[in-house]
Amino acid sequence: LAAAQRVHGWCSPEAIEQAACVMRLTPGYLISVASFYDMLETRPVGRNRIYVCTNISCSLCGADELLARLLEETDGDPDFNVRSFECLGACDIAPMASVDDVYIGPITIDDVPRLVEQIRAGVPPLPNKQLHLRKSTDPGAVAKPATAKPMPDQPPTSHGPAMGGEVAGTPAPIEHAPEEDA
């Protein structure tokens, strides 16, 4: 069904019929599947899909206002399919949206005109906020090299000599704090 939607833009009755023949399932069964999953469209929609996550984390960060602003900015444009989506699983970049299958966030109300303009122009929207292009979800994060040495005041682990611990299979000694007199 996802392949049919990529080709036709939605799960049309003809696409469902063809998929049912190939999969040896009934069209009714595939219609129930297509209508169950949020990411499958059962009616023609705009080619540019903007799904705004409206689950609790995104809602608390302004997703409802973001959705309203996007609907206002794209009102009457048949090339856009803007709607809420229950959860996109990217709470760390809330409020966020999936724009043609690319996760973008956090998106502010002020970002909306530029986001829509870039989509209309056919250029990657808000590239500095695209999750797959960033080294970290935290824009202020600094990459730090991994270290094999234990942190100060921590006993060595049992991950082997390379990690500062004992030979694999031999647990590191467990130190117990002295018991206090009652």
pLDDT per residue as tens digits for the range 145-154: 545 455 556 5
The pTM (predicted TM-score) of the whole model is 0.68
Contact 92, 137 (CB under 8 A): yes
Choice among 8-12, 88-92, 154-158 with the minimum mean pLDDT = 154-158
CATH of region 46-136? 3.40.30.10
> Which positions ≥6 away from 130 have C-beta within 8 Å?
102, 103, 104, 124
Mean pLDDT of 15-33: 96
- Domain ranges in the chain? 1-44, 46-136
In this prediction, residue 129 carries a pLDDT of: 95
**Which CATH architecture does the domain made up of 1-44 adopt?**
Orthogonal Bundle (1.10)
Residue 54 has pLDDT above 80, yes or no: yes
Signed CA dihedral, 17, 23, 24, 28: sign only: negative
Mean pLDDT of 1-23: 92
* Encoded tokens for 77: 């444009």
Residue 64 has pLDDT above 90, yes or no: yes
What dihedral do alpha carbons 41, 45, 50, 54 form, nearest 10°?
A: -50
More confident residue, 150 or 34: 34
d(CA 123, CA 25): 40
Contact 52, 66 (CB under 8 A): yes
Mean pLDDT of the chain, nearest integer: 84
d(CA 129, CA 125): 8
